Amino acid sequence: MEYSLLFARTLHELGFDFHLEPNTFTPPHQPESGWPLKLPNIAWQSNSLLVLHFQDFVTNTSQGIIELDCIEKHYGERSNQILVTHMHPGLEKVYHGPINLIEFSSHNYREIHRIRARWPDWRHVVEQPKTQPWQCLNGRKCDHRWQVTKILSEWPDGVLSFGTDIPLPEWHYGTYRGTENDENFVRLASVYGPCAVNIVTETVYDTVPGLFCEKTLFAMLAQQIPIVIGSQGLVTSLRDHGFDMFDDLVNISYDTLPNSTRLTQALELNRDLIQGRIDLSPYQERLQAQREFVLDDYTNIMELRFKRDCALLANKLNLK
């Protein structure tokens, strides 16, 4: 189901007089000022709800979250009749203003639907034996990915890329422009198939809350052990979302460490695992179950959580 249709049906059934802005952010993003915002004018009623969907990451600074602060200033006393849907687990822990928040990653929702439709094109990925210890693919270049790359470049027997500086032999990052994520996953089957551990350098590292995207999901779909390097607490958030983070195998104590040491400890604490010194045969059923959970169940869970959270919002606003 298209996410905007899910939103509209759910809110209509709950009795909201709503206006939905499905893509609130307008590129390009500016680190200092955040995203340009589409902020419509509506005729406010007692049961009005303005739904602003954040289709990408928010800009979190020491002064607050730029996009949410802008919305508060624009709508003033009507801010409590605004719902922002977003992709950040735990955003409500760092924002305490009047705007209502519901987590729903339209990005992940779309990517899972797309990759599910292409199962015949990539099922061979999970049928291949895992003959190489690890992979770490880094497309867009940024500091935390470069630090991970510097360490792993000295570790043997893995597949490592970093933009076009360290290209893959086939389908390097210079060929990525204009390619959808599902197509990129399919054409990189020769990497995802044989690699047992995936060191995932997520999009956001320095700020909380973080996010997870197709990089993490593709590791799970390829039946790889994920070592996710992202914002502080992201691994715990993933576990809370129902994903198996293999914390009886992966030392996830790095997840709570500060930015200065988290990525180095993620690697050092799991060096034996990454370098193939641990027998992974006892984990094969769980790896398959993880792939089935992402492919078959997770979008349904996203829908159910969204409907639940909207019902709670209706109660809060005295519509039900």
For residue 71, pLDDT over 80 is answered with yes
Which of 104, 127, 143 marks a domain boundary?
104
**Closest among 169, 234, 159 to 194, alpha carbons compared:** 159
Tell me: do 239 and 191 sit in the same domain: yes
Tell me: do 138 and 79 sit in the same domain: no
C-beta neighbour count of 90 within 10 angstroms: 18
Tell me: do 39 and 147 sit in the same domain: no
As a whole number of Å, the end-to-end CA separation of the chain is: 26
In a domain, 61, yes or no: yes
pLDDT in tens, 256-291: 999 999 999 999 999 999 999 999 999 999 999 999
For residue 47, pLDDT over 90 is answered with no
Which of 48, 78, 104 marks a domain boundary?
104
pLDDT of residue 38: 98
The count of residues in the chain is 320
In a domain, 305, yes or no: no
Tell me: do 126 and 92 sit in the same domain: no
CA distance 261 to 299: 34
For residue 177, pLDDT over 90 is answered with no
Tell me: do 152 and 68 sit in the same domain: no
pLDDT in tens, 136-145: 999 999 999 9
Helix (H), strand (E) counts: the chain:
13, 10
Instruction: State the DSSP code for 230.
Output: -
User: pLDDT category, 236, cuts 50, 70, 90?
Assistant: very high
Coil/strand/helix, residue 45: coil
C-beta neighbour count of 215 within 10 angstroms: 20
Tell me: do 136 and 92 sit in the same domain: no
Q: CATH code at 247?
A: 3.40.50
Tell me: do 178 and 278 sit in the same domain: yes
> 154 φ, ψ to 5°?
-100, 0
In a domain, 111, yes or no: no
User: Which residue(s) pair with 83 in the sheet?
Assistant: 51, 100
pLDDT of residue 178: 77
* Virtual torsion, Cα 102, 107, 108, 110, nearest 10 deg: 110
CA distance 270 to 230: 16
pLDDT of residue 87: 98
CA distance 38 to 84: 13
Tell me: do 155 and 94 sit in the same domain: no
List the domain range (segments joined by +) for residue 258: 118-296
Q: Which amino acid is at 59?
A: T
pLDDT of residue 28: 96
Total number of domains constituting the chain: 2
Average pLDDT, the chain: 95
User: pLDDT category, 62, cuts 50, 70, 90?
Assistant: confident
In a domain, 309, yes or no: no
Tell me: do 136 and 49 sit in the same domain: no
CA distance 161 to 153: 9
What six digits make up the tokens of 122? 């990539």
What is the distance, to the nearest Å, from the Cα of residue 33 to the centroid of all Cα atoms in its chain?
Answer: 23
CA distance 311 to 10: 9
In a domain, 113, yes or no: no
Contact call for residues 256 and 234 (beta carbons, < 8 A): no
Tell me: do 202 and 99 sit in the same domain: no
For residue 173, pLDDT over 90 is answered with no
In a domain, 318, yes or no: no
Q: Which whole number is the average pLDDT over 182-189?
A: 95
For residue 179, pLDDT over 90 is answered with no
pLDDT in tens, 83-100: 999 999 999 999 999 999
Which of 104, 126, 150 marks a domain boundary?
104
Coil/strand/helix, residue 64: strand
CA distance 281 to 127: 14
In a domain, 243, yes or no: yes
> 223 φ, ψ to 5°?
60, 50
Tell me: do 92 and 47 sit in the same domain: yes
In a domain, 161, yes or no: yes
> 178 φ, ψ to 5°?
85, 0
Tell me: do 9 and 39 sit in the same domain: yes
Q: DSSP letter string over 112-157?
A: HHHHHHTHHHHHHHHHS---EEEEEEE-S--HHHHHHHHHHTTSSS
Q: In what order do the strands lie in the sheet with 100-103?
A: 17-21, 48-53, 82-86, 100-103
Contact call for residues 81 and 42 (beta carbons, < 8 A): no
